[in-house]
Amino acid sequence: MKESMTISRRTMLAASAAAIGAPAILAKAVPTADPVRLGHIGTGTRGWDLVKYTGSIENAKVVAVCDVYKPHLERGITAANNPDAKRYRDYRELLTDPKVEAVIIATPDHWHERMVIDAVEAGKAIYCEKGMTISVDAAKRMRAAIKKKKTVFQLGHQGRQHPSTAEAGRLINEGAIGPVTLIHTGRYFNGTKERAPWRWYGYYNCYDRPDPAQVVKDLDWEAWLGPAPHIDFNEQHFWHWRCYWPYGTGQAGDLLSHELDHVQCVLGWGIPDACMCTGFNAFYQDGRETPDTWLANYTFEKQNCSVTFEGCMNSGREQPPEYIGKNGRLIFNAIGHDATRFVVYPDSPAFPHMGRELKPTRTYDPSKGPKWPSHMDDFLNCVRTGERPKCHEDEAFIEVVTILMSVMSYHAKRQVRWDPVAGQIV
């Protein structure tokens, strides 16, 4: 399998919010005499990025790696950069390893609940990739377990490492653009049917199909399925799990989650009051269950604001977060977890029909702002201090309810609401 790493980072991220391009964008780690001893559970596409990062910094030491697919396990061991790192095929055995202080969970979403709760019971700090899980009830059980044991928990939303979110929130709250009544977000990817989003093999730009017979030999299929409904080995479900409902939430957990988390970072409004979502497979009619087109509209009634998410896998445009107020617009420079800069205009920056363009009234330059640790370093620091990371269990609960509102609306073909008293989507 070719492991080309030359793909455009922004294209890769537009294709999958699981992607961050890893070490290239993360802030330099702060050296420590006592590195956090990590066990990585899952070294597939996103998990490989994470172990490459933690295996390269001084404030972490990868002491164990677990994966049920042998080639991924071996590449994780190589990336660990520790000749003494132990190999595990069963994550429960890794959790009994006394050398492991904290775990990095980067498995398909259907495994998150069981692994997080087991890690809590084993006394490990936890970094878990988004989306948090695939049901509200599962999220409640996870949150309760974390709170009971006071576990240090971080959900993987890397946009929270950018100080631009705090400055944008300050300006909006001070009325710099007037009352905000509409926020635009979205994700786009213009692939081909031969190189379709989510149809890669083990990494974002790898479309060389491994020999299925060898995959069967190298994979513990039953362990990969875990709590998902039992089926015979299915090559597409293994490699392309985001395309199928039993293992994740499609664009909601992969792409929308990053963009709506950006809104939460900036404004802190919590769970939306209502959501209406539609979706269908408009272009990639390749047997996938989860739609390639995902259109969600959220309302925050107390704030008198709507938030839109447009997910389209048949276009190369980009929709950075755009906060639209009565007196101006605050527009970021990139998709949610890449959004390091923003500009403020008195209104739309371009008026082609009027033959003029408006100049920005404010510009945020990250080089002149505060320096924050990377999202992973925030977690590692908190493992040592016992403090709460930026995307702790309460923020993670907001994330998962928000994404699941769109999923429920899509399946029910109606608007859904969050009932804060019952703690359910209705």
Q: What is the pLDDT of residues 389-412, one digit of tens each?
A: 999 999 999 999 999 999 999 999
The tokens describing 384, both together, are 């040592």
Q: Tell me how far apart the terminal alpha carbons of the chain are, to the nearest angstrom.
A: 46
User: pLDDT-based confidence at 356, cuts 50/70/90?
Assistant: low
The answer to whether residue 3 scores a pLDDT higher than 60 is no
pLDDT in tens, 166-199: 999 999 999 999 999 999 999 999 989 999 999 9
pTM: 0.91
The answer to whether residue 29 scores a pLDDT higher than 60 is no
pLDDT in tens, 118-166: 999 999 999 999 999 999 999 999 999 999 999 999 999 999 999 999 9
Distance (Å, whole) CA 107 – CA 120: 17
- Say how far residue 403 (Cα) sits from the centre of its chain: 11
Place of tokens 């510009």: 363
Query: Residue 125 has what pLDDT?
Result: 98
> What is the DSSP secondary structure assignment for residue 293, as one 8-state letter?
E
Query: Residue 357 has what pLDDT?
Result: 73
28-37, 179-188, 300-309, 313-322: segment of lowest average pLDDT: 28-37
Report which of 54, 55, 44, 56 is spatially closest to residue 19, judged by C-alpha positions: 44
Highest mean pLDDT among 202-206, 232-236, 312-316, 351-355: 232-236
E strands, 25-101, are 36-41, 60-66, 86-88
Query: Residue 26 has what pLDDT?
Result: 39
Q: Name 242's Cβ contacts closer than 8 Å, sequence gap at least 6.
A: 16, 198, 248, 250, 254, 290
Q: Strands 293-300 and 125-129: what pairing?
A: unpaired
Query: Residue 36 has what pLDDT?
Result: 98
Q: Which H helix or E strand runs over 367?
A: none
The answer to whether residue 31 scores a pLDDT higher than 80 is no
Report which of 118, 131, 111, 127 is spatially closest to residue 17, judged by C-alpha positions: 131
Domains of the chain: 9-160+375-396 (3.40.50.720), 163-194+248-371+402-425 (3.30.360.10)
The answer to whether residue 352 scores a pLDDT higher than 80 is no
Place of tokens 């269950």: 289
Q: Is 210 helix (H, G, I), strand (E, B) or coil?
A: coil
Query: Residue 403 has what pLDDT?
Result: 98
The answer to whether residue 23 scores a pLDDT higher than 60 is no
Place of tokens 């002149």: 368
Distance (Å, whole) CA 41 – CA 68: 9
E strands, 225-379, are 274-280, 293-300, 305-312, 322-325, 328-332, 342-345, 350-351, 356-357, 362-364
Query: Residue 121 has what pLDDT?
Result: 98
The answer to whether residue 244 scores a pLDDT higher than 70 is yes
The answer to whether residue 47 scores a pLDDT higher than 80 is yes
pLDDT in tens, 11-21: 333 333 333 33
Report which of 254, 255, 314, 252 is spatially closest to residue 283, judged by C-alpha positions: 314
Percent of the chain with pLDDT over 70: 91
pLDDT mean over 330-340: 95
Query: Residue 390 has what pLDDT?
Result: 97
Percent of the chain with pLDDT over 90: 87
Distance (Å, whole) CA 214 – CA 180: 55
CB 218 within 8 A of CB 70: yes
The answer to whether residue 355 scores a pLDDT higher than 80 is no
pLDDT in tens, 194-220: 999 999 999 998 999 999 999 999 999
Report which of 107, 129, 132 is spatially closest to residue 44, judged by C-alpha positions: 107
Distance (Å, whole) CA 35 – CA 58: 7
76-85, 337-346, 353-362: segment of lowest average pLDDT: 353-362
Distance (Å, whole) CA 372 – CA 145: 29
